[in-house]
Amino acid sequence: MKRRSIAYSASPLLASRTPVWRSRFILAVLAAAFLGLAGRAVYVQVLDNDFFQRQGEARFARNIELPPSRGRILDRNGLILASSVAAYGIWADGADAKHPALGALANLLDMPKSALDKRIARSSDGFVYLKRQVSPEIRNKIKALGIKGVSDTKEYKREYPEGEAAAHVVGFTNIEDKGIDGAELAFNGALTGHPGSRRVLKDRMGSIIEDLRDIVQPVNGEDIQLSIDSKVQFLAYDQLRAAVEKHDAIGGSVVVLDVRTGEVLALANYPSYSPSDRRTRTGSVLRNRSMTDTFEPGSTVKPFTIGLALQRRLVTPTTVYQTAPGYMSVGRHRISDSSPHGPLTVSEIIQKSSNVGTVKISEGLPAKAMWQMYTDVGFGQKPETVFPGAAVGRLRGYDAWRTVEKATMSYGYGLSTSLFQLARAYTVFARDGDIVPTTILKTMEPVKGTTVFSSKVAADIRNMLLLATGDEGTAPRAQTLGYSVAGKTGTARKVEGKRYSNKKYRGFFVGFAPVESPRIVVGVVIDEPKKGGFYGGIVAAPVFSQTVQNTLRIMGVTPDQTVKPNINATGVKESL
């Protein structure tokens, strides 16, 4: 078959000439397109740059807050009670929901895979935390998984080396590192500091590729030095815990005050909690019992009533009162001693803790004078402390007292106080008749108190309280090796509804040492002891004894006694 050749050049279409205007039109269109693109580029990058810059930054720019390191809480010797350590918050933002390493991520975060999946799904709508306060080691393992959209932010985690022993002093913070209780809350402003900031540009994987402006560095919080001695605190807590467990009580408290400076050396409560473990921070264990719980102080008030009588020169330490047959009537009410004593001097009324003798002394005291004296030592007044939730207690106005109320108030019924208030009130006897202001911050400087009694009256009461801790007193178990001690027991029935319980008691002891030149006041309360007795001289006095001995030795106070006391006394009696 013979092929035919076709001469394409001879085609009339190709042979015809293209109009000049058509080529020029195409060139004009192309030129206009390029000019439009150039104009749009100028508009986007120069004329309306701010709008598009904002839109770009909204998608890829992030403000990263640089958290400050929270200030440390130190004891009086510089030992750490609370400090911050580096940690990380793990978060997701548009994370890859199908990444094969999500199972490993769930294990590292110690959470169920189903819970992690739900959070990852929520991250498609924006930022969501997966877990807070993760250790640097776990964070590095998470980073190595390379999961798109999962990143971290540096933060801090609070640690408390003293644990349960100092929990109610130090308190704790929440997940945002804000103080919630104790010193963490009281000094939150100083401890917190000020955060810094960093404006960065991130790629689609969440990695930082550049800083958009200068970094504003965070300002770390200030350190706070408390008056607490961590050794005294631990030993007081340890003795308290042993006593509560021994007597099967529901709780207890110990307060230790420096007589000269008003510093709080220890403030222990049991049961307690671990500030670092959120699982233990629930219920009644959070109560700072020494500050928040109030009770009728019972016989511990008798020295104040007698001190007022001495101050007004109604009695002397040797004035004798007949307390037989061990009870008396005030109107229709009967007031009794735990056992009859017969004639007692004013000093012996304290030594034997006679209700009858105290009431007879109070009969010569005006109600207004008693009320003023109780007010002066802090009863019914808001404590001067930074701790949140400190109880005021109850002290009714004197013009509302009935005769029987005035009588019962003389030996500690009809008013209420916290252990902290009661311990502070006893500084009036440990000093020269003036009550000292207290502080939880280290000061070391002697302070001037407010005069309540003369120095002569204070010295007389000290001698009486010394008798109360002797072998013939109500609290021989308060004696301690090497140091003379003075103080007063108290045992009070708890109120149930509108009646006093016959089965539930609080036993307490408040005193000071050494007697001639007191350095500390120690208050102890044991709440609802069920085993081994309930009198303050039995359940609280031994805790006082050990706390005094440990504290004075830690303070380096020279012993003032060389004779071993009889601390195994039996047959202890106590007036309610």
Pull the structure tokens for residue 406. Answer: 């005035």
- What span, in angstroms and rounded, lies between the C-alpha atoms of 31 and 359? 113
Pull the structure tokens for residue 228. Answer: 């607490």
Three-state DSSP at 161 gives: coil
Give the torsion sign (CA, 389, 393, 394, 395).
negative
| Pairing, β 73-74 against β 224-225 | parallel
Torsion of CA 336, 340, 341, 344, to 10 degrees: 20
- What span, in angstroms and rounded, lies between the C-alpha atoms of 190 and 225? 12
What is residue 138's DSSP assignment? H
| CA-to-CA separations, 113 to 45, 106, 107, 123, 233, in angstroms, rounded | 46, 5, 8, 15, 44
| CA-to-CA separations, 250 to 243, 254, 499, 513, in angstroms, rounded | 11, 14, 20, 28
- The residue whose two tokens read 């108190």 is 449
- The residue whose two tokens read 């003798």 is 357
Pull the structure tokens for residue 186. Answer: 């009281």
Q: Which of 244, 228, 250, 294 is nearest to 542 (CA)?
A: 244
Q: Residue 230 catalytic?
A: no
Q: Which of 299, 362, 418, 575 is catalytic?
A: 299
Pull the structure tokens for residue 511. Answer: 């005193």
Report the catalytic residues. Answer: 299
